[in-house]
């Protein structure tokens, strides 16, 4: 008899029984829910609320304190897997082998056996739904060749994302010295994962099975059953980290990420995430950034091979503002009148500043789309000859 699978079935049955009882919404104390304009008081060590649409921070508490992050680590593990999928390096149908190292992981798991094979699709399901440590390490070995090599990739990607207070030591989030992150860095990492919308096909699963129905999976994110608009993203619990969550939600096209680190209990974790998301939806809304009518298509160039260079600015289409302030958004343009050759492609020639009333919200550079050489006698003769040949061809 395979005792690991028997234990899996018994545990899953218990989880499914408990899952039918919607307790979390009812257990959130009224004082934890924010008033229309007041900031919430949260039972945790650190927290941050971010717009997943724009990256704007709407609330923070000890957001840069370096803390253990438990299984929220798996956000980066899944992100690297999705990036490898997008690059065509791996495929969802690929068989992921199970090594002794992967099978030895403790904590939350699906009781993998060395030599077993699951598809990458099944492994991602086990990670996102059941927070399986063994599946996370198996995927890390599959994508990176080994867990240490994959951890190097995790830290490299964190640096690329500007996660300056994050250090990964493993791929699953079990407590390890030096393995830490911050609420701000986790929000950045979560937002990057959410760019891969296929991840929600996994994070929104409530229950599922593996091994032909022998292994039951139940989502560790109980907000899926109690919060309107929840889409994910990842829970985490260890002795060092406490009880944590990075929760994502979307309502009427507005996306939010609520990061909660270091709660004392699962009840407090979900209550804090609920209060923070409620605060966001009660007090903020997306507003269209007004178009800059005076932005020309290009600028004149003096002494260049071209008399005109096209310009552009990646101005955001919308920003998140406090409710009722959408009409206060305005843009100011500062732009050079003329350029002197040579002009490099991508050179900044001005900027557009977005204000909410008198408060500067964001600055966007205006840049050249192409380069323009400086006119020389040799270049002038070449252009003249090219023009003559074109006339002859006609």
Q: Which domain CATH number covers 354?
A: 2.60.410.10
Residue 385 three-state SS: helix
Alpha helix (H) ranges present in 87-219?
Answer: 100-103, 120-130, 133-144, 147-160, 183-194, 200-203
User: Is 291 a member of any domain?
Assistant: no
- One of 8, 52, 74, 169 is an active-site residue; which one? 74
Whether 13 and 79 share a structural domain:
yes
Can you give the pTM of this predicted structure? 0.82
Q: What is the average per-residue pLDDT within 81-87?
A: 98
Among residues 250, 284, 318, the one where a domain terminates is: 284
d(CA 61, CA 59): 7
Residue 326: which pLDDT band, with cuts at 50, 70 and 90? Answer: confident
User: Is 290 a member of any domain?
Assistant: no
Residue 259 three-state SS: strand
d(CA 133, CA 71): 8
Is the pLDDT at 393 greater than 70, yes or no?
no
Residue 293: which pLDDT band, with cuts at 50, 70 and 90? Answer: confident
Domain housing 80:
3-284
- One of 8, 51, 52, 71 is an active-site residue; which one? 71
Alpha helix (H) ranges present in 236-376?
Answer: 266-283
Whether 12 and 43 share a structural domain:
yes
* Number of domains composing the chain: 2
Whether 190 and 316 share a structural domain:
no
Q: What is the average per-residue pLDDT within 177-198?
A: 98
Whether 279 and 161 share a structural domain:
yes
Q: Are strands 339-340 and 298-302 parallel, antiparallel or unpaired?
A: parallel
Whether 71 and 210 share a structural domain:
yes
pLDDT of amino acid 11: 45
Within 8 A by CB and 6+ apart from 325, the residues are 287, 356, 357
d(CA 110, CA 210): 9
Whether 71 is catalytic: yes
Whether 269 and 365 share a structural domain:
no
Is the pLDDT at 13 greater than 70, yes or no?
no
d(CA 251, CA 233): 15
* Residue 302, φ and ψ in degrees, nearest 5: -95, 130
pLDDT of amino acid 384: 66
Least confident of 16-30, 127-141, 238-252: 16-30
User: Is 292 a member of any domain?
Assistant: no
User: pLDDT tens for residues 128-184?
Assistant: 999 999 999 999 999 999 999 999 999 999 999 999 999 999 999 999 999 999 999
Domain with 248 in it: what CATH number? 3.40.710.10
Whether 332 and 240 share a structural domain:
no
Whether 267 is catalytic: no
Percent of the residues in the chain that have a pLDDT greater than 70, as a whole number: 86
Q: Which residues pair with 332 in a beta bridge?
A: 353
pLDDT averaged over every residue in the chain: 89
User: Is 293 a member of any domain?
Assistant: no
Other beta carbons within 10 angstroms of residue 248's beta carbon come to: 30
- One of 108, 131, 190, 305 is an active-site residue; which one? 131
pLDDT of amino acid 19: 40
Whether 74 is catalytic: yes
Q: Is 76 exposed, middle or buried (0-12, 13-18, 19+ CB in 10 A)?
A: buried
């Amino acid at each position: 008899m395979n005792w690991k699978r028997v234990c899996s079935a018994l545990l899953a049955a218990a989880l499914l029984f408990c899952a039918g009882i919607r307790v979390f919404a009812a257990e959130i104390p009224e004082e934890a829910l924010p008033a229309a304009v007041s900031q919430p008081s949260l039972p945790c060590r650190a927290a941050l609320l971010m717009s997943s649409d724009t990256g704007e921070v709407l609330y923070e508490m000890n957001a840069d304190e370096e803390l253990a992050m438990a299984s929220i680590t798996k956000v980066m593990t899944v992100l690297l897997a999705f990036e490898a999928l997008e690059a065509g390096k791996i495929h969802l149908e690929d068989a992921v082998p199970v090594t002794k190292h992967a099978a030895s992981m403790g904590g939350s798991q699906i009781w993998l056996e060395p030599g077993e094979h699951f598809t990458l699709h099944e492994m991602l399901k086990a990670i996102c739904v059941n927070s399986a440590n063994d599946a996370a390490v198996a995927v890390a070995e599959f994508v990176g060749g080994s867990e240490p090599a994959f951890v190097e990739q995790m830290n490299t990607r964190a640096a690329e994302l500007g996660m300056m207070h994050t250090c990964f030591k493993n791929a699953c989030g079990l407590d390890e010295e030096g393995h830490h992150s911050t609420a701000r860095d986790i929000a950045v990492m979560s937002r990057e994962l959410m760019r891969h919308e296929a991840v929600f096909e996994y994070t929104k699963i409530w229950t599922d099975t593996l091994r032909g129905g022998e292994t039951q999976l139940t989502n560790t994110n109980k907000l899926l059953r109690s919060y309107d608009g929840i889409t994910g993203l990842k829970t985490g619990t260890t002795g060092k980290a406490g009880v944590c969550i990075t929760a994502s939600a979307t309502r009427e096209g507005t996306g939010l990420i609520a990061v909660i680190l270091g709660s004392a209990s699962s009840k407090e974790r979900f209550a804090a995430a609920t209060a923070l998301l409620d605060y966001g939806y009660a007090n903020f809304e997306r507003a269209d950034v007004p178009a800059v009518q005076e932005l020309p298509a290009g600028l004149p160039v003096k002494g260049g091979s071209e008399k005109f260079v096209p310009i552009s600015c990646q101005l955001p289409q919308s920003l998140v503002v406090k409710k009722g302030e959408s009409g206060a958004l305005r843009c100011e343009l500062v732009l050079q009148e003329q350029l002197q050759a040579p002009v490099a492609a991508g050179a900044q020639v001005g900027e557009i500043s977005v204000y909410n009333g008198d408060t500067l919200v964001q600055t966007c550079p205006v840049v050249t789309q192409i380069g323009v050489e400086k006119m020389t006698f040799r270049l002038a003769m070449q252009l003249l000859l090219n023009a003559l040949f074109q006339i002859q061809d006609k």
